[in-house]
Amino acid sequence: PSIGVVVVAAGSGTRLGRATPKAFVEVAGRSILSWAMDSVRGISEPIELVVVVPAALVEAARSQLASLGLPFAAVAGGTTRQQSVQAGLSVLGDGVDVVLVHDAARPFTPVEVFERVIAAVRSTGSGVIPGQPVIDTIKGVDRSGLVLETVDRSRLTAVQTPQGFPRAQLAEAYERAVEDVTDDAALVQQLGGSVSVVAGDPLSFKITTPHDLEHAEELAARTAG
Ligand code: CTP
Ligand code: MG
């Protein structure tokens, strides 16, 4: 059996505000998508890799990633992340028994996080997501900005990717999915599947805003230098 790794990179990056779709924006001379492959290639178990990119950039992704020496399939995504994940899942081969879904927008995720998620999916036989403690104090507010409550931080975890699932569990969740949700674990839970959290990593931060891109440039400079 092998691990299916679906890297979703088909978003436009509205909040980043560049003309180029986010995964194709460069950090220190390489696309975010290309950086994201560094940890994927370190996974010790056999993997089947699918990258999901904007339809117009499928060929560009193929040529850009060809030099990495890592076999992969590139397919076109959809208008929502959920549709993009589904496009990736649909091309996985029969030998895949565990699936990881990862955001290309988290290009510096350490390989240890991938390994931790894989191990926990195997030991629990259910969904596993990496999470980080919430650092800020979180308040619940109403529409006018009036503070209603202080949320108990110890009950919260900030969720990252890769999110891992037994293949059958994720496939069923996607087959029966109704609502459009932003993460795969929520779909699995809608069907009553259990999902547990393992330690994430600060390096798994998502590049969302121009400030995040600056942070990425600093990290990349350190990695290269
Ligand atoms: N994603 C995708 N297909 C979509 C939307 C998002 O594959 N239709 C991917 C993005 O490429 C990214 C990940 O899902 O790797 C997380 O999404 P997000 O950070 O929100 O990226 P964008 O949707 O591109 O950014 P924005 O929401 O600012 O437009
Ligand atoms: Mg988005």
* C-alpha of residue 11 to centroid of ligand 2, in Å: 6
The arithmetic mean of pLDDT across residues 157-185, rounded, is 90
ipTM: 0.99
* C-alpha of residue 15 to centroid of ligand 2, in Å: 8
- pLDDT class for 67, splitting at 50, 70, 90? confident
- Alpha carbon nearest to ligand 1 atom 1, residue: 11
The residue type at 22:
K
22 in contact with ligand 1, CB cutoff 6 A: yes
pLDDT at 224: 63
* C-alpha of residue 146 to centroid of ligand 1, in Å: 31
**Residues 19-65: pLDDT tens digits?**
999 999 999 999 999 999 999 999 999 999 999 999 999 999 999 99
Nearest ligand to the C-alpha atom of residue 25: 1
Nearest ligand to the C-alpha atom of residue 6: 1
> Taking the C-alpha atoms of 80, 85, 91 and 92 in order, what is their torsion angle to the nearest 10 degrees?
180
- pLDDT class for 209, splitting at 50, 70, 90? very high
Q: How far is CA 170 from CA 3, 20, 192, 193, 219, in A?
A: 13, 31, 12, 9, 33
Residue, of 214 and 223, whose pLDDT is higher: 214
The arithmetic mean of pLDDT across residues 84-90, rounded, is 96
The residue type at 179:
E
CB 199 within 8 A of CB 42: no
Tokens linked to 73: 């399939």
Cα angle vertex 38, ends 34, 41, to 5°?
115
- pLDDT class for 113, splitting at 50, 70, 90? very high
* Interacting residues of 144 by C-beta distance below 8 A, sequence separation 6+: none
**Residues 9-26: pLDDT tens digits?**
999 999 999 999 999 999
Name the nearest CA neighbour of 50 among 6, 103, 1. 6
Integer Cα distance of 222 and 113 in angstroms = 20
pLDDT at 178: 77
Domains of the chain in start order, with CATH, are 2-224 (3.90.550.10)
25 in contact with ligand 1, CB cutoff 6 A: no
